[in-house]
Amino acid sequence: MSNIQSVPAIPIRDDPLQNAQWKNWFLQLTRNVNGTWGVANGGTGINIYVIGDLIYASATQILSRLADVATKQVLVSGGVGVAPAWSASPTLSGNLSVEGNTTLGDASADTLTINAGTWTYGSNWTATRAVGAAPAGATFFQQLNTTFSGDAGGTTDGRSLLVANTISGSNSAIRARAMQFACTILATAGTVTNADGISGALNLNNAASVTNAAAVSGQITITSTGNVSTGFVFSAQAPSLTSTGAFTTLAGFRAANLGHATLVTNALGFDAANMTVSGTLTASFRSAQNTGTGAWGFLHTGTANNAFNGDVRIGSSIAPTVALDVTGTALISGQVRVSSTTGISAAGTVQGNATALTTVCNGITTAAAGSGVRLRAGSTGEWQTVYNGGANAVNVYPPSGANINQLAANVPHILATNTACQFSFFSSTLIIGILSN
């Protein structure tokens, strides 16, 4: 393009299209335009375009064409001095603000990755997914996965999901919840075998040893001066029944069969460690169940033995004073068995070296002349029975400091051969002996 004269000047009152000089200038412009205009002349230097092309500066005074690509890609800056490019997986720096409804991914197995940092969201937000009919015979879930390919050494605190709500200021909150799960079942027919509000699963697929493993673990931490009236690490709330559906059995806590024939050494359905408090009540298990038809404070329907390592009281909540302390009337349908020892040899000649009797029923078979036995120390209501089947009379001594019948302290009762005597403790120092016929 050359030899184009400068734009002619015409009086402002004249019509340019009727001025001869302007007509001649336009004709020259048309006759001298051919080929591709370069950037220096205000053009692009490009003579071929297709739908979707974008023009960008690929170098100084050079424009290039960026071809269109498949859908679901965005234009990403390559940095200062670098050409932009389309990307289906862009990396953004800084803050991204999105208003209105936003869809991430589609029906396929797309992945949303959030790297280390802080994800800030509003006070109220809802994540909703509508997928249509549940797939038949398949497992479907919304899942948060954290995968560590290795370790950097030291102690690691790994958590698949951490949800923390902070409420500050002066608040009177009806409920403050770190996390709430709700599963709503709207099935109109069929049977739902298991419905879990929260289901915890711990997969131990490792060769290293694990000291403590808990599928669900709870802890309450107080770091300030506010008091808690009652703290429940795990709490079973009363059911909310708003229809005609009813429970056949409702359990606040249930332990399934935790055992295994070869791989589980010990199984504990409920395990409470030793607890230390500053008050007067420490109970590993407490029931406030009142009497009624079919009402039990504790009900054991299995056939396993029961062991209580400690004193037991039945009939009141007052602390027991002996191994089995019964308040009220005890009805025993079977036989009452007490400890018994036979084949005892009387020994010694004084209280200190006489044979000590340790059981309730005691049978002497060997009795040298002048030998003796000694009752154990007892409390009010206890007793010991002694039978002398030996060849000589036996001196039955009380425990140190006690009296038998009208005898002085520490003086023995002489038990004839082939004779029994029941020694009942009216107190720890007064013992009454009742002889057999």
DSSP string, 229-259: S---SS--PPP---SS---S---S-------
Distance CA 298, CA 300 (A): 7
Tell me the three state secondary structure of residue 25. helix
Spacing of C-alpha 226 from chain mean position: 24
∠ CA 68-72-76, rounded to 5°: 65
The per-residue pLDDT for 171 is: 58
The per-residue pLDDT for 16 is: 57
Element at 23 (helix H, strand E): helix 20-32
State pTM to two decimals: 0.57
The per-residue pLDDT for 405 is: 96
Find residue 79's DSSP bridge partners: none
Distance CA 73, CA 114 (A): 19
Q: Name, in order, each residue with C-beta under 8 angstroms of 257's C-beta and a sequence gap of 6 or more.
A: none
The per-residue pLDDT for 1 is: 46
Element at 313 (helix H, strand E): strand 312-314
Environment class of residue 382 by beta-carbon count within 10 Å: exposed (0-12), middle (13-18) or buried (19+)? Answer: middle
Query: What CATH number does the domain located at 340-435 have?
Result: 2.60.120
Which residue, chain included where needed, has tokens 């694990």?
A: 210
One digit per residue, the tens of pLDDT, for the chain of length 437 reads 445 455 555 555 556 556 666 666 666 655 556 677 777 777 787 888 888 888 888 888 888 888 888 888 888 888 888 888 888 888 777 777 777 666 665 555 556 666 666 666 666 666 666 656 666 666 655 666 656 566 555 655 666 666 666 666 665 655 566 666 666 777 777 777 777 777 777 777 777 787 878 777 788 888 888 888 888 888 888 888 877 878 888 888 888 898 899 988 999 888 888 999 898 888 888 889 999 999 999 899 999 999 989 999 999 989 998 888 999 999 999 998 999 999 999 999 999 999 999 999 999 999 999 999 999 999 999 999 999 999 999 999 999 999 999 999 999 999 999 999 999 999 999 999 999 97
Instruction: List b or e across 36-49, with b for residues whose CB sees 16 or more CB atoms inside 10 angstroms.
Output: eeeeeeeeeeeeee
Element at 30 (helix H, strand E): helix 20-32
Break the chain into its structural domains and give their ranges.
Answer: 340-435
Nearest CA to 346 among 383, 397, 385? 397
Distance CA 28, CA 32 (A): 6
Distance CA 324, CA 315 (A): 11
The per-residue pLDDT for 433 is: 96
